[in-house]
Homo-oligomer: A and B are copies of this chain.
Amino acid sequence: MAISEAEAVVMDVLWRAAPRTAEEILAEVGPAQGWQEGTVKSLLNRLLRKEAVHAERDGRRYLYTPLLAREQYVQQESKGLLDRLFGGRVAPLVVHFSEQRKLSKKDIAELRKLLKELDDEQH
């Protein structure tokens, strides 16, 4: 089952560092998101049901660990967008961002480097 946007915010905390307690997660996202304790608890439970996180008892509380890897999530989301909007092809997407003036100098430099590397490993 897909994980929602709010759930992804919680996953992000766990991807940065795990395991974590609910309290720690709340401390990290609560203020920024304007979320109460109950909200984070609910999201954690939904993530548990979706088997995106694992909970291990540690005395009175639980320690949460991500089961779904960030790479896996990023992959699904990215591929979804690519397929839905760009016919599954990367170049058109980059062209889009280029036209949208979303390519920074740094991006351009890094893309050059990437292409060069791809070229090198060609043989």
Contacts and interface: CB of A to CB of B under 8 A. Distances in A.
How many A residues touch the partner, as a band? 20 to 34
A107 interface: yes
Nearest to A8: B84
Nearest to A103: B90
Copies in the complex: 2
Looking at chain A's contact residues, the main secondary structure is helix
Given A89-B107, A95-B114, A112-B115, 13 more contacts: A77-B81, A78-B85, A78-B93, A78-B96, A78-B97, A81-B81, A82-B97, A89-B104, A90-B102, A90-B103, A90-B104, A93-B93, A111-B115
Contact of A98 (B97, B112, B114): B114
